Structure 1
């Protein structure tokens, strides 16, 4: 989200938080707050926020970004919620793995 590296970039990808976990731990598992970012932007440029924010507005809309920016709720994640969250991400990961399995076969041809 914070640069133009292609999906074929050979480096490491991170889950980048728009509002850092240190500043907003309650948004750690919020899907609007979590986005794919290259390791360079995330680790060395503090998320490259000058590019991140406008692209996040494009992705989820200004209203949701504003909500993230002002959200100061205290959240206690209960076990059932975390189990449901794990299930959602497991399904997403399996779907992505299946989608990208075909790319390896194409590259071998």
Structure 2
């Protein structure tokens, strides 16, 4: 998935939304940004926006092998309540600014830990 939506070092909201088969408004919502944020190039290239998009793509990339497809990984990201995070979904965890803890959780599962 990485090569499909990166333009140089920036995550392209247009390409990412296309890969996930969602609108840019839905993409913005899934990372906790205002819906109009991704429609202006100067805003979509800001450090805050790029950080959120990278956090989401990193999580989706890590779980795609378990989920079986990009679509299923994105569905997991949007809907799976994680007990270790009080039932928050990965989407909620990213929006709360706790992406590092989520990455550690996923890494622990990847090496044989329990969910």
* TM-score relative to the length of structure 1: 0.27
Q: When you count strand as a share of all residues, which structure comes out higher?
A: 1
Higher helix content, 1 or 2: 2
Please tell me whether Structure 1 or Structure 2 has the larger radius of gyration of its CA atoms: 1
